[in-house]
């Protein structure tokens, strides 16, 4: 029997836990091969959630309570994970809201996905079969949907449809290898960072559809403007894709700057100046991508690994040159020469940037 512990953070959820806990253990009794425990992490809720929990513990010996002096969802999860691992040595941990938004009947589906080989299973409201509540206000729908869309694009991971919902099953090895990096994040950013860091550790991630139900009792604790700001900040500081685009822009500046100096100031030969400046930009891009954009899969092993990868990098760059030249010529043949700079911009944004990014990930900085 493998052990799974469901970590339930609570803040003023007395009424909800009274309803939720019996439901969870009812479902838990129906799954074979798994011994399911629940740990409630309560931040000394003023509504005395803990009293409700203590009463329930008498009926459910696999229910546990952790009291926490501090507030904050991220901290509640990290403390809950740590205590669960120390006290119960589980194989799997669950994240789940205590406000009945997450239906316990999905638990067996999470376990099935884990048994099929996933390391990290996300309950998704945005994949086929999942849903958000109809009666959510327009604001909340928009924030939630666009929040998730921005993250999918910002990380260039369109296949992961859900980044903010906290209904998840995560293998303990993933928690152990990422929790130190999650200490500084709170709220939704904690949830986003948990997926990002797991991906960077090579965890296999999958999703199951869930129908999100609005809370019946109690109050929500989120602030939306802060939410959007924090998401942008996290993407800008952590997305390999965003960093790669920034590196690309520095390469552009180096290429143009050097060409200008060589051609205008030093009066060097134009073809020679172009080769020097383009190759300098390529070298700089390679080094910056290796040490910054893809630092989590940095090339190791000295010159012997560096040189072949650098040659491949040059090949990919040559490929993008050919694509650009061919593409612009094609546009010009069809539409005429006037708008060549527009065609160039379109080709760079929609073809060159994704093309190089995909090849870098597949050929040079491979997932470990």
Ligand X SMILES: Nc1nc2c(ncn2[C@@H]2O[C@H](COP(=O)(O)OP(=O)(O)OP(=O)(O)O)[C@@H](O)[C@H]2O)c(=O)[nH]1
CB of 243 to ligand X, least distance (A): 29
Q: By CB under 6 A, is residue 10 in contact with ligand X? A: yes
Q: By CB under 6 A, is residue 99 in contact with ligand X? A: yes
Pick the closer one to Mg ion by CB: 88 or 132: 132
Contact 96, 8 (CB under 8 A): yes
Q: By CB under 6 A, is residue 55 in contact with ligand X? A: no
Distance of alpha carbon 268 from alpha carbon 202, whole angstroms: 48
Collect contacts of 225-232 with beta carbons under 8 A, ≥24 apart.
227/143, 227/147, 227/187, 227/188, 228/143, 228/147, 230/187, 230/188, 230/189, 231/147, 231/150, 231/151, 231/188, 231/189, 231/192, 232/150
CB-count burial class (<10 Å; 0-12, 13-18, 19+) for 360: buried
**Among residues 43, 144, 161, 317, the one that binds ligand X under rule CB under 6 A:** 43
Q: Can you read off the two tokens belonging to residue 244?
A: 């790669």
Pick the closer one to ligand X by CB: 231 or 299: 231
Q: By CB under 6 A, is residue 72 in contact with ligand X? A: yes
Contact 5, 95 (CB under 8 A): no
**Among residues 41, 93, 242, 254, the one that binds ligand X under rule CB under 6 A:** 41
Q: By CB under 6 A, is residue 196 in contact with ligand X? A: no
Distance of alpha carbon 198 from alpha carbon 121, whole angstroms: 11
Q: By CB under 6 A, is residue 291 in contact with ligand X? A: no
Sheet with 63-67, edge to edge strand ranges: 63-67, 34-42, 2-10, 92-95, 168-171, 120-124, 205-209
Q: By CB under 6 A, is residue 144 in contact with ligand X? A: no
Pick the closer one to Mg ion by CB: 222 or 318: 222
Q: By CB under 6 A, is residue 215 in contact with ligand X? A: yes
Question: Of ligand X, Mg ion, none, which one does residue 13 interact with (CB within 5 to 8 Å by kind)?
Answer: ligand X
Stretch that binds ligand X, among 18-26, 92-100, 201-209, 277-285 (CB under 6 A): 92-100
CB of 81 to ligand X, least distance (A): 13
CB of 78 to Mg ion, least distance (A): 19
DSSP β-bridge partners for residue 131: 211
Stretch that binds ligand X, among 3-11, 232-240, 312-320, 332-340 (CB under 6 A): 3-11
Contact 5, 63 (CB under 8 A): no
Q: By CB under 6 A, is residue 122 in contact with ligand X? A: no
Distance of alpha carbon 200 from alpha carbon 368, whole angstroms: 9
**Among residues 53, 63, 73, 247, the one that binds ligand X under rule CB under 6 A:** 73
Pick the closer one to ligand X by CB: 15 or 204: 15
Q: Can you read off the two tokens belonging to residue 283?
A: 């070298």
Q: By CB under 6 A, is residue 147 in contact with ligand X? A: no
Distance of alpha carbon 19 from alpha carbon 29, whole angstroms: 17
Pick the closer one to ligand X by CB: 2 or 216: 216
Residues that bind ligand X (CB under 6 A): 9-11, 13, 41-43, 68, 71-73, 76, 97-99, 101, 215, 220-222
């Amino acid at each position: 029997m493998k052990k799974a512990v469901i970590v339930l953070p609570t803040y003023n959820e007395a009424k909800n836990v009274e309803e939720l806990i019996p439901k969870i253990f009812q479902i838990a009794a129906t799954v074979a091969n798994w011994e399911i425990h629940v740990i409630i992490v309560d931040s000394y809720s003023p509504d005395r959630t803990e009293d409700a929990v203590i009463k329930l513990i008498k009926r459910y010996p696999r229910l546990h309570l952790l009291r926490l002096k501090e507030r904050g969802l991220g901290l509640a999860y990290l403390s809950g994970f740590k205590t669960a691992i120390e006290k119960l040595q589980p194989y799997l941990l669950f994240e789940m809201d205590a406000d009945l938004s997450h239906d316990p009947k999905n638990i067996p589906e999470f376990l099935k996905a884990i048994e099929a080989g996933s390391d990290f299973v996300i309950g998704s409201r945005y994949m086929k079969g999942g849903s958000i509540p109809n009666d959510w206000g327009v604001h909340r729908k928009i924030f939630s949907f666009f929040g998730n869309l921005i993250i999918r694009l910002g990380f260039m991971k369109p296949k992961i449809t859900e980044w903010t919902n906290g209904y998840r099953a995560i293998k303990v090895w993933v928690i152990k290898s990422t929790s130190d990096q999650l200490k500084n994040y709170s709220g939704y950013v904690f949830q986003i960072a948990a997926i990002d860091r797991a991906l960077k550790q090579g965890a296999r991630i999958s999703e199951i559809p869930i129908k999100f139900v609005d809370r019946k009792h109690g109050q929500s604790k989120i602030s939306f403007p802060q939410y959007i700001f924090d998401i942008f900040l996290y993407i800008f500081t952590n997305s390999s894709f965003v960093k790669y685009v920034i590196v690309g822009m520095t390469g552009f500046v180096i290429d143009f700057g050097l060409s200008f100096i060589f051609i205008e100031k030093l009066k060097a030969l134009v073809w020679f100046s172009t080769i020097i400046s383009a190759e300098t930009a390529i070298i700089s891009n390679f080094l910056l991508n290796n040490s910054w954009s893809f630092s989590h899969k940095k090339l190791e092993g000295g010159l012997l690994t560096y040189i072949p990868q650098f040659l491949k990098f040059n090949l990919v760059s040559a490929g993008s040159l050919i694509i650009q030249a061919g593409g612009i010529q094609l546009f010009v043949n069809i539409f005429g020469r006037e708008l060549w700079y527009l065609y160039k911009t379109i080709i760079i944004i929609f073809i060159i940037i994704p093309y190089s990014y995909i090849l870098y990930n597949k050929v040079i900085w491979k997932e470990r």
